[in-house]
A and B are shown apart, each in its own frame.
Chain A
Amino acid sequence: MIHSDGTKPIYVQIAEWLETEILNGHFKVDEKVYSQYKLAEMFTINPATAAKGLNILADEKILYTRRGLGKFVTNEAKEIITDKRKNQKLKGLLDEVALEAEQLHVREEELFSMLKESMEKRKGDAK
């Protein structure tokens, strides 16, 4: 789950992992998330690194802090995460796809049909 191959800092990976847990409904609104120490133990990482991951989410208003109790999921958490992933991650992936398509001279229609195929395949897999 956590890769130390250097492609992404560990604290970013921790933040993204927690986001996915929130999106999947493993942590609900006003529920307490794992502490920095629990995360450190789970992933064998330094607790200061885990704290950085939690702080990113707090800065983005995905988590809020209750002094002495820990960090909790905000009301808007899911919305913020979905919005962020659409605008950053998905858009970034699409930029890469566009670049690759350009280099391979793949035309728009062909690309659209490939995307459609992928989406249908996923639907099939989910069944």
Chain B
Amino acid sequence: MNVITCEGLKKNQRKVRALSDLSFTIKENTITGLIGRNGAGKTTLLKILAGFWRESSGEVKVFNQHPFNNLYVSANTIYVDDQMSFPASLTLTEILQEAEVFYENWNGKLAKRLFDYFSFHPEQQHENLSKGKKSTFNMIVGLASRCALTIYDEPTTGMDAAVRKDFYRALLRDYLEYPRTIIISSHHLDEVEDLLEDVLLLQDGSKCLHLPIDELKDYAVGLTGRTEMVRQWIANKEVFHTNNIGAGTTYAVVKKEGIPLDNARQLGMETTSVTSSDICVYLTDQTKGGIDDVFK
């Protein structure tokens, strides 16, 4: 069953187009990574799915309903980011108690355990928390809510490396215990990729790729060899990236499908795998040349 269906989704903000003609579906009880460069439209998409913002045109369905201003969708969805606002008059403990009233599947035991594990002070106010602590607290709310659709928009902002690791493990363990549909947007694909089933890669408000993470890892291959040979060999292939390393040597990233790798090796080129994170960067590269060109 599909939890999310988008068909020709568009969103304009003033005169700027944030999303253009976006179509995709997300299956129930999967973890999807939403990846894209700054300004690719990740947050816009997630806010529309959560029912916070209204689309400009096209069709969007969450649990088969139109999400904007929809009670059913908001009762079954939680949107977690670093700007979640809670009443300033409540302490952290009171926020967790109130959250229990809002969310039917709220797991109070998990919330309490995580709260103690990350050493929060019960009397503390949300607005006085540090950036990382705020994200950690919001993550606890996101996990404990156990909403059928749980959306994390850059959930690890400000978290230190140890907390991020704990968060990923907590997310996965709770998902195994209580499967639900999770979307997580992140700039750190290398950190989250093991958790994911699918990846949705956005570029300029459009879909660039939507595929299982294992296929993304196998999507491209890196070739290193003498410049003339590499140039000639990749001429009729889909090339995502090239880079000259030193004199006469070139590194190229090409689409792996249908590439005779043995042939490349016999010719003396070195073949290497390309991390999914790098593939995403190459696929969505919009900068002209490289950063070095700025300093020329």
B194–A46 touching, CB < 8 Å = yes
Kindly state whether residue B31 has any CB partner on chain A within 8 Å. yes
A6/B273 contact (C-beta < 8 A), A48-B212, A49-B197, A52-B214 known: yes
B218–A48 touching, CB < 8 Å = no
8 A Cβ contacts from A40-67 to B: 40-41, 43-49, 52
| Binary flags per residue of A7-50, CB closer than 8 Å to B gives 1, else 0 | 11111000000000000000000000000010011011111110
B195–A10 touching, CB < 8 Å = no
Residues of A within 8 A of B (CB-CB), count = 20
Give the distance to chain A from B291, nearest Cβ to Cβ, in Å.
23
A49–B213 touching, CB < 8 Å = yes
B190–A4 touching, CB < 8 Å = yes
Kindly state whether residue B169 has any CB partner on chain A within 8 Å. yes
Partner of A41, one of B172, B194, B276: B172
8 A Cβ contacts from B142-199 to A: 168-169, 172-173, 176, 190, 193-197
B194–A45 touching, CB < 8 Å = yes
A46–B197 touching, CB < 8 Å = yes
Kindly state whether residue B47 has any CB partner on chain A within 8 Å. no
Partner of B275, one of A5, A40, A47: A5
State A120–B276 Cα separation when bound (angstroms): 41
Closest to A11 in B: B214
A9/B214 contact (C-beta < 8 A), A4-B190, A40-B172, A46-B195 known: yes
Kindly state whether residue B217 has any CB partner on chain A within 8 Å. yes
Which of A6, A44, A47 is packed against the most chain B CB atoms within 10 Å? Answer: A6
A44–B195 touching, CB < 8 Å = yes
Partner of B176, one of A9, A10, A47: A47
Partner of B168, one of A11, A43, A44, A48: A44
A45–B195 touching, CB < 8 Å = yes
> Which residues of chain A come closer than 8 Å to B276, judged between CB atoms?
6
> Which residues of chain A come closer than 8 Å to B169, judged between CB atoms?
44
B217–A46 touching, CB < 8 Å = no
Give the distance to chain A from B4, nearest Cβ to Cβ, in Å.
18
> Which residues of chain B come closer than 8 Å to A41, judged between CB atoms?
172-173, 176
> Which residues of chain B come closer than 8 Å to A2, judged between CB atoms?
194
> Which residues of chain A come closer than 8 Å to B234, judged between CB atoms?
none
Kindly state whether residue B229 has any CB partner on chain A within 8 Å. no
> Which residues of chain A come closer than 8 Å to B193, judged between CB atoms?
4
> Which residues of chain B come closer than 8 Å to A52, judged between CB atoms?
214
Q: Apart from A40-B176, A45-B194, A45-B195, list 19 A-B contacts with CB within 8 A.
A: A4-B190, A6-B217, A6-B274, A6-B275, A7-B273, A10-B217, A11-B214, A44-B169, A44-B172, A45-B172, A46-B31, A46-B172, A46-B197, A46-B213, A48-B30, A48-B197, A49-B197, A49-B213, A52-B214
Q: Which residues of B contact A (CB under 8 A)?
A: 30-31, 168-169, 172-173, 176, 190, 193-197, 212-214, 217-218, 273-276
CB-CB nearest 9 A-B residue pairs: A6-B275, A48-B197, A45-B194, A46-B197, A6-B273, A9-B217, A44-B169, A37-B176, A9-B214
